[in-house]
Amino acid sequence: MARVIYRIDLAQLRQNFAVLQRAAGNCKLMPVLKYDAYGLGALAIGTALKQAGAVRFAAATLDEALILQQLGLPVQILGLLPANEIAETVRAGIIAPVANMATAQALSREACRQQTAVKIAVKLDTGMGRVGFQAVDAARTAQQIAEIVKLPGLEPDSLFAHFSTASQPDLFFAELQLRRYREVYDLLTAAGINFPYRHHGAGDAVMKLPGATAEPFNLARPGGTMYGEEFDTPCRQIVELRTFIGDIREIPAGGSINYFRTFIAPKAMKVAVLTAGYADGIPLALSNRGQVIINGCMCPILGRVTMDYVVVDISHVPDAAVGMEAILLGKRGEAKISVGDWGRLKNTHGHDIWCAIGHRAVREYAG
C-alpha cells in the first residue's frame, strides 16, 4: 500500500562495516546511530552492525540511547547532556558525556543520590569550536579533568573529541587536532589518570587519517560512511528509494507545470506524475534539475518538486504505464542516482539526505 518504499541493504551495510574495520586496524568500532540511525531505523541497523562486530553504540540524546540499549551493548551519548536527562542517564547506566564542569558536578551529585556510579566520557574540543574542554590549553584542561575524576560517583570511561575537517582534502587542521588531543592525553597519563577508551575519528578519519586509528586511540565511531553515498566506492550506497507513476498526461507546447510555472513546455510532451514529493525527502533543489529512473531510462524532473508529487518527462519512455515504479535513489542497469548526486544538487552531504527521508516512506530491509 506504500506510495514510497525505502529499501535498506543490510548485507551491503555489513560489507561496508568490514571495510571500515579493516581500515581501523586495532581500533574497535562504535557506530553512531543518532536520529534513528540517520532515519534508516536504529534497531534494524544496530542489529546488523552488532552481528558485524560493533562493540558499542553512540547516540545524540537520552531517548536514542535508551532505544539502543535494547541491543545489549554499551551506549554512549555524544556531545551535551541537558540537566533534565541526567537522572535517567545515571539510572539507565548510559555512558554520560561530560563537556563542562557543571555537568560533571551534576552527574556526581545524582550518582551519589542514587548510590551508584556512572561511567563518563569526557569531551575535548581540539578545534571543532563547539563543545568540550579547550585542548588548546592542554595544562588547564588536564587539570580540570583531574578534578572531575576525583568527584564521587564518576567512573572514567572515554576521552574523546570531534574532527572538523577530516572529510576535506587538506588534513593539516585534522593533524593539529590530533596533536592537541595527544598533549592532553599525555598529561593525564603522566598524572596516572586512565581512560579505557579513546576516540577522535568518524568514518572519514578512519579511511583517510592513519593517526586517528593509531595509539592512543582504540575506538572509532563511523556514522554516515557506513551507509555509502556512492555506488562505486569502498563503502557502497546501501539505500534505494522508489515510488510509482500515479498518472500520465499530455502537456501541450506552452503548457506549464507546477507552482510558479518554473517549467514551460517547449513542445508537446508526455509526462508522468509520481506519488512522492519533498514530504518524502526529495530535495526541493531537484526542481528542474534532478532525474528519476523509469524502466531503465533517466527521466528529468519538470518544474518544482511539491510536497506530494513530482512531474517527470517520459516522452522517451513509450512503454511507461500507470503503476510502474520510478527509482528516486538507486540504479537499474547502467542508470543510477546516488545519495551523493542529490547532495551535490542540494549543496549538502549524505547525512542531510538520509535524515530528510520522511516517515511516509516505508522502510524495507533486505539481506
Of the candidates 178, 160, 53, 180, the one whose C-alpha atom is nearest the C-alpha of residue 96 is 160
- Separation of alpha carbons 106 and 328, rounded Å: 48
Cα torsion at 18, 19, 25, 29 (round to 10°)? -60
- Separation of alpha carbons 210 and 50, rounded Å: 24
Residues 300 and 263 sit within 8 Å (Cβ to Cβ):
no
C-alpha cell at 173: 587542521
Q: Which helix (H) or strand (E) holds 173?
A: helix 172-190
State yes or no: is 181 an active-site residue.
no
Residues 337 and 291 sit within 8 Å (Cβ to Cβ):
yes
Angle at 344 (CA atoms; ends 365, 207), nearest 5 degrees: 65
The one catalytic residue in 6, 34, 123, 181 is 34
Of the candidates 237, 262, 249, 168, the one whose C-alpha atom is nearest the C-alpha of residue 209 is 168
Q: Which residue is associated with the grid cell 598524572?
A: 191
Intra-chain end-to-end CA distance of the chain, in Å: 22
- Give how far Cα 341 sits from Cα of 226, 286, 307, 338, Å: 17, 10, 20, 5
- Separation of alpha carbons 355 and 256, rounded Å: 32
The one catalytic residue in 123, 197, 259, 309 is 259
What's CA 79's distance to the chain center, in Å? 15
- Separation of alpha carbons 259 and 163, rounded Å: 42
Residues 262 and 304 sit within 8 Å (Cβ to Cβ):
yes
- Separation of alpha carbons 150 and 153, rounded Å: 9
- Active-site positions? 34, 259
